[in-house]
Structure 1
Amino acid sequence: MNITGNTIFIPGATSGIGLALAVELHGRGNTVIVGGRRAGLLDQIAAAHPGIRTVQIDTADAGSIATVSARVIAEHPDLNVLIAMAGIMRAEDWHTPAGFLDSAEAIVATNVLGPIRLIAAFVEHLQEQADSTIVTVSSGLAFVPLRHTPSYNAAKAAVHMLSESIRLQLADTTVKVVELVPPAVRTPLMPGHEEREDAMPLDEFIAEVISLIESQPDAHEILVDRVAVLRHAEARGDYEQVVAMLNGTETHATAQ
């Protein structure tokens, strides 16, 4: 993926990693369109960051994705990058259905069906561009599970395998598939995340991501150093030890 000269749509970018990435990419000379559910937040983003475009979209709603994506393509026919950023993370208790079922269904709708529907809405348009990219967002928890968030772990594992698979299928097109794999980052993804001392500061994460994109434009995965302990645990042969480390304290070190 080139770091500049793109037209980029980032649904789910009204806070956290998505918004910080949108601001940084806009500053690098890209046209950036931010999507989100809440009109008030979108208005604040447009006012605080002149030049960033905004559009209201609900990535858990199939109709919203279809309608808004068509409008984005019509208004930005040179759009060549989709970053499927939207995601939710919730703690669950799988001892009884009341402890997890509603949460699991919401997570699958947003974290799995959301990216699938977004890709479906844009994949034909992206193939018409000379150089285009789909960026998916998984997690270190796609590779090592956190016991408190089973559905989130599973959803991010699905995003990882989806990325691997569609990269193979789209190899005969102009579309690259890049997987962003965050560690724990200080964002409002869950209550208390922004204050977690064990999590990576957001500005440091974004700076390292941008540096990796610049230095490795053909990379299939964007892996900051902090996520390597999770991403490569099985290959290193210390998977069980990393699972124990991750789940051994209340701080859940290195997980996002």
Structure 2
Amino acid sequence: MDISGNTVFIPGATGGLGRALALALHERGNTVIVGGRRTELLAEIAEEHPGIDTVRIDTADPASIEAAAKEVLTRHPELNVLVTMAGIMRAEDWTHPSTFLADAEAVVTTNVLGPIRLIGAFVEHLLGRPDATVMTVSSGLAFVPYGPTPSYNASKAAIHLLSESLRVQYAGTSLKVLELVPPSVRTNLLPGQEENPLAMPLSEFTAEAVELIERRPDATEIQVERVKYLRYAEVRGDYDEVVSVLNGHQN
């Protein structure tokens, strides 16, 4: 993926990683469309950052995805990058079914069905562009489990393998699949995470990720240095130790 000259739609970009990436790509000369559920946040972004377009979308709602896709493609027929950023993370206690089922289902709907439906809504258009990218967003937790968030871990593992599989299917086409693999970053994904000293500062993550995209336009995964501890635990042969450290520190 080239770092500039794209038209990029990022649903789930009213805060956290999505907003930071949207602003960084806008600054690098891309046309950016931000999607989100909360219209007041969309209006705030549009006012504070002239040139960024906004579209309301709820990625847990198939009808909302379909309507937003039509709106985006009508206003931006040159769209060539889709970032499936929207995601949620919930702590779940799987010893009590009445307490975890609703959260687990919500995580899977947003984190797995959301990206699948988004890609489904845009893929025909993207395959018709001369140079297009779907950027998926997995996590270091796709490779090493964090005990309190089993559905989130599983959802990101699904996104990783979905990305790998689509890359095989799209081989020989103009559509590339780029997987962003964040570590724990200081966002509001979980309560207290914004103040977690063990998490990576958001500005540092964004700067390193964007630099990697720029330096490696043909990359299939964007891995900041900090996530490699999780990403390659099994390859290095210290998986059990990494699981223990991750969960012992409650990172």
1-structure distance, mates of 2:242, 2:19: 30
Aligned to 1:22: 22
TM-score w.r.t. length of structure 2: 0.99
Tell me, what secondary structure is at the counterpart of 2:18? Answer: helix
2-structure distance, mates of 1:249, 1:214: 33
Tell me, what secondary structure is at the counterpart of 1:41? Answer: helix
Alignment of 1:1-256 (within 5 A): 1-250=1-250, 252=251
Gaps of 5+ in 1: none
2:219 is aligned with what amino acid?
A: A
**C-alpha deviations, 1:40-87, integer Å up to 9, x for none?**
110111111111100100000001001111121111110000000000
2-structure distance, mates of 1:6, 1:157: 28
Deviation at 1:206, TM superposition (A): 0.5
2-structure distance, mates of 1:154, 1:224: 21
2-structure distance, mates of 1:84, 1:57: 12
2-structure distance, mates of 1:100, 1:179: 28
% identical aligned pairs: 65
TM-score w.r.t. length of structure 1: 0.97
User: Which piece of structure 1 moves more, 30-39 or 44-53?
Assistant: 44-53
2-structure distance, mates of 1:195, 1:174: 41
Tell me, what secondary structure is at the counterpart of 1:104? Answer: helix
Deviation at 1:99, TM superposition (A): 2.1
2-structure distance, mates of 1:91, 1:166: 29
**C-alpha deviations, 1:72-107, integer Å up to 9, x for none?**
111111000000000000100000111210001000
1:204 is aligned with what amino acid?
A: E
**C-alpha deviations, 1:120-157, integer Å up to 9, x for none?**
00111001111000000000000000000000000000
Tell me, what secondary structure is at the counterpart of 1:211? Answer: helix
Q: How many residues align?
A: 251
Deviation at 1:249, TM superposition (A): 2.3
2:205 is aligned with what amino acid?
A: F
Runs ≥4 residues deviating over 3 A = none
